[in-house]
Amino acid sequence: MSTRSAGARRWLPFAIAGASGFLVAFIAMAILLLPGGEAAPASVQVPTVVGLSYPDAERRLAAAGLVATLGRERPAADTPKNTVLAQVPSAGESADRGSAVVLDVSEGVDRVVIPALAGLSRDDATRVLGDAGLALGDVTEQPSDTARGTVLASSPSVGYTVPRGTRIAVTVSAGPIELSLPDVVGRDLGTARGLLEQLGLQLAPLEYDSMSTLPAGTVVAQTPAPGSTVTASTPITLRIVGRP
């Protein structure tokens, strides 16, 4: 056997291995490059996920080869909590496969606490509501001994939590009820007292007339005089026949 033949046999296994490796690499490239075996693109188009819930947005991005990342949580009127408000990159832009898309989501409707309004003037109540992110709603007047225009109550009441921008209804004082004082002179004390109390009027301490010849307990004078304009807070003084 010649030396040349022996050398050829020694190199034959290496040649076969090299050829096999080349064939495997060729087949792999063919699979990737031929139709139906294209290589995955390095970049993808970002889908729109605004308006979706965060979990749904995660799934849609994952299907596109992207990763959802939570950005800011911010208040949004009438938008359910965890709804996507914005995305970066925007829909339609190109992004590297596997890269992150930052999603800002709603933290739900911003809510505020109703401040105390009772005792304030209407103008002051409007200012306080504005500072709290609220607005003055319907205004109802109600007779009261407090000064006209003073806030008596709010609806909803102080301390309740409501969405920012809610209009708060208030009840304000219309001032004391005014009425014409009836004439009770000549009536007995029981009848006079009952009539005045039915009108919501208050009696002052009684005064007495021990010189009158009328039956004891008869009203002989009243202050203010009959026909005077009075309110519920006006004390009515009666002078009756008799002694203390």
Could you list the residue range(s) of the whole structural domain that residue 190 is in?
Answer: 178-241
What total of structural domains would you count in the chain?
4
Tell whether 95 and 145 lie within a shared domain: no
> Looking at per-residue confidence, does 144 or 196 come out higher?
196
CB 169, CB 200: distance < 8 Å: no
Lowest model confidence (mean pLDDT) among 76-80, 112-116, 201-205: 76-80
Q: Which pTM does this prediction carry?
A: 0.47
**Beta-carbon contacts of residue 53 (< 8 Å; ≥ 6 apart):** 80, 82, 83, 84
Neighbours of 37 (CB within 10 A): 11
208 and 235 part of one domain: yes
Question: Which amino acid is located at 242 in the chain?
Answer: G
Mark 159-180 as b/e (b = at least 16 C-beta within 10 Å).
Answer: eeebeeebebebbbbbbbeeee
Q: Are residues 152 and 192 in the same domain?
A: no
Closest CA to 112 of 142, 91, 143, 133: 133
Query: In the chain, what percentage of residues exceed pLDDT 70?
Result: 84
Name the band, by pLDDT with cuts 50, 70 and 90, for residue 38.
low
What would the pLDDT profile of 56-113 be if each residue is shown by its tens digit? Answer: 999 999 999 999 999 999 888 778 889 999 999 999 999 999 999 999 999 887 889 9
- At 27, the amino acid letter reads I
Say if residue 22's pLDDT is above 70: no
pLDDT at 11: 45
